[in-house]
């Protein structure tokens, strides 16, 4: 019954291998089933839906861009820190405010479609363009402007820079 306990929390079509199983209509009252309470396994997979908030990540005083709205969703809630020295405080702050989960890109792997945003400490050559090119919203903690060989992929819809922990706020 754990399937139903989880499926009532899902928006739709979340890929977990069971998503093709459609509960028969006669089980529509499953919400009252005590066995349908959330189980521990939920913690390991996708964070529960409904606990996410949109946050505005603004450029720092010497940064670039107009700001990005980061909106983690079920299955796409990783705040991906590709920075030296572990999870960057900016990534931690975005996660704390948005309900997303921090993830250290130098320690483990994630798929791009699981990433709500990437936080980088790039000096303007490589990482600054790689994540925008891959369609990932990118926050550079250094105040650099679009540059480097991949500059053409960077715009104010996918990139902001110079951000510090005080430049992040909940919008919704």
Partner 1 sequence: MKVKYHTIVTGVGEMAAEFADAGILVFFGPNAPEELHEFAILTEASKLLANVEVGDIVVIGEAQFPTLCVGPIANQNVANLGHLVIKFNGMSVPELPGDISLPAVPAPPVKPGTMIEILGGGV
Binding site for partner 1 (CB under 8 A): 82-85, 105-107, 109, 112, 121-127, 130-131, 134, 142, 144, 147-150
Which residue, 24 or 109, has its beta carbon nearer to partner 1?
109
Which residue, 52 or 64, has its beta carbon nearer to partner 1?
64
What is the residue-wise DSSP string for 92-139?
HHHHHHH--EEEETTTS---GGGEEEEEE---SSSHHHHHHHTT--EE
CB of 54 to partner 1, least distance (A): 25
CB of 138 to partner 1, least distance (A): 12
Kindly list the catalytic residues: 122
CB of 144 to partner 1, least distance (A): 6
What is the residue-wise DSSP string for 2-70?
HHHHHHTT--S---SS-TTPPPPGGGGGGGG-GGGS--THHHHSSPPTT----EEE---TT--SS-EEE
Which residue, 47 or 136, has its beta carbon nearer to partner 1?
136
């Amino acid at each position: 019954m754990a399937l139903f306990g989880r499926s009532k929390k899902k928006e739709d079509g979340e890929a977990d291998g069971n998503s093709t199983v459609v509960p028969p209509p006669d089980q529509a009252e499953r919400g009252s089933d005590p066995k349908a309470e959330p189980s521990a396994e939920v913690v390991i997979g996708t964070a529960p839906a409904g606990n996410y908030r949109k946050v505005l990540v603004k450029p720092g005083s010497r940064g670039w861009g107009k700001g990005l709205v980061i909106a983690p969703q079920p299955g796409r809630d990783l705040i991906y820190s590709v920075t030296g020295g572990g999870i960057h405080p900016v990534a931690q702050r975005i996660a704390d405010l948005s309900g997303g989960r921090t993830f250290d890109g130098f320690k483990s792997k994630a798929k791009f479609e699981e990433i709500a945003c990437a936080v980088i400490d790039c000096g303007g050559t490589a990482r600054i363009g790689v994540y925008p090119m891959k369609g990932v919203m990118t926050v550079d903690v250094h105040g650099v402007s679009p540059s480097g060989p991949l500059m053409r992929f960077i715009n104010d819809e996918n990139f902001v820079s110079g951000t510090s922990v005080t430049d992040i706020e909940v919008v919704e």
